[in-house]
């Protein structure tokens, strides 16, 4: 997965052939004797295309605790049905020291390396983020240094990886991590990332749980052209989260349908128009990093909503990642070894 070895070997060979190894003749990173091509942010967003979240696995307090343990076969399955990318939510804070330099558990880092390699080897784009950092949401000032320390380690660790590895700075900033504070923190995190990854695509989301309405509060360094902006979409919430055990009062919403009425469709269009207009104004590509309807909703309504939301995103040139692969929102039954064909068809039509 690392390119450093290949680069060193090639430079040694060049020198042995009396080819100048002066500073002026330094070559870019190479793999198989070819320079790495670093696409721009819009090209990388196109590569993301249609993605799936590998949720409830590495973002659980301990992998497997929420019923999902990643398997090699998952990546092959995802690739085989036509997805272009995987978003891998990761709870790094649960596997890092509390004191500076906030060292990440090397065994956990190795597990993430395996997941990234499993995606890249199959030609999938891999997106890794910091997920469920709940402490920084409640006590941002106390955790700012640790947050930045995590990115200092991750950026250095992955600096020689393929351009098809994308960083996402933080999942769904919320609560006390206000829009103003978030703009400050993400700018500092980007500065750290750019020290070792000047050309890598980086995904940045909005405060207030990653919603579209907070795009107007997002401030990104103008000079950084390798930013992809993300939002998450679960509207209408009483439909997508009916019966969700972690949402208070959601059982009262059971039976809520989405019938693809003109009013329902227009509500989605209106939301996406806001994102599209913002993207055009700021010249940034858009990635809908999460969307999905919980399994307690009726399947017919879930299929209608999923298809419509995905197509509206694509119509505007947005990439997207469905939430998620094989848990409560999932499209794959890992126990039965079978897809929910209706939802899969809604996401990736023939």
The residues that are catalytic are 172, 290
Cα distance between residue 229 and residue 220, in whole Å: 9
Cα distance between residue 119 and residue 84, in whole Å: 10
Name every residue whose Cβ is closer than 8 Å to that of residue 84 and which is 6 or more positions away in sequence. 47, 48, 49, 50, 51, 124, 125
Q: Which helix (H) or strand (E) holds 7?
A: helix 4-16
Q: Which helix (H) or strand (E) holds 155?
A: helix 140-157
Whether residue 104 contacts residue 95, with contact meaning beta carbons closer than 8 Å, is answered with: yes
Pairing, β 286-291 against β 202-205: unpaired
Query: Which pair of structure tokens corresponds to residue 62?
Result: 């301990």
For residue 303, which of 238, 239, 230, 232 has the smallest C-alpha distance? 239
Distances in Å between the Cα of 137 and the Cα atoms of 170, 171, 177, 336, 342 are 11, 11, 5, 37, 37
Cα distance between residue 27 and residue 20, in whole Å: 11
């Amino acid at each position: 997965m690392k390119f450093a070895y290949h680069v060193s070997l090639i430079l040694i060979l060049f020198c042995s052939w009396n080819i100048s190894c002066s500073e002026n003749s330094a070559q870019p990173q190479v793999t198989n004797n070819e320079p790495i091509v670093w696409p721009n942010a819009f090209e990388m967003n196109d590569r993301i295309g249609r993605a799936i979240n590998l949720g409830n696995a590495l973002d659980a307090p301990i992998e497997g605790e929420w019923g999902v343990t990643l398997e090699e076969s998952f990546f092959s399955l995802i690739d085989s049905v036509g997805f272009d990318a995987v978003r891998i939510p990761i709870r790094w804070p649960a596997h890092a020291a509390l004191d500076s330099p906030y060292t990440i558990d090397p065994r956990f880092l190795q597990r993430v390396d395996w997941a990234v390699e499993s995606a890249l080897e199959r030609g999938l784009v891999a997106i890794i983020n910091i997920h469920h950092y709940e402490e920084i949401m409640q006590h941002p000032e106390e955790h700012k240094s640790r947050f930045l320390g995590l990115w200092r380690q991750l950026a250095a660790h992955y600096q020689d990886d393929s351009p098809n590895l994308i960083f996402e700075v933080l999942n769904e900033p919320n609560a006390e991590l206000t829009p103003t504070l978030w703009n400050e923190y993400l700018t500092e995190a980007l500065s750290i990332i750019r020290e070792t990854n000047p050309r890598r695509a980086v995904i940045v989301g909005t405060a207030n749980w990653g919603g579209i309405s907070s795009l107007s509060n997002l401030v990104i360094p103008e000079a950084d052209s390798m930013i992809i902006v993300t939002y998450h979409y679960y509207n209408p919430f009483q439909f997508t989260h009916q019966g969700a055990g972690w949402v208070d009062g959601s059982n009262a919403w059971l039976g809520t349908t989405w019938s693809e009425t003109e009013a329902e469709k227009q509500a989605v269009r209106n939301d996406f128009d806001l994102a599209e207009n913002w993207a055009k104004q700021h010249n940034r590509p858009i990635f809908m990093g999460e969307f999905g309807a919980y399994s307690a909703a009726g399947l017919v309504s879930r299929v209608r909503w999923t298809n419509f939301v995905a197509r509206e995103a694509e119509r505007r040139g947005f990439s997207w990642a469905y939430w998620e692969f094989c848990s409560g929102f999932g499209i794959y039954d890992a126990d039965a070894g079978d897809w929910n064909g209706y939802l899969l068809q809604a996401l990736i039509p023939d």
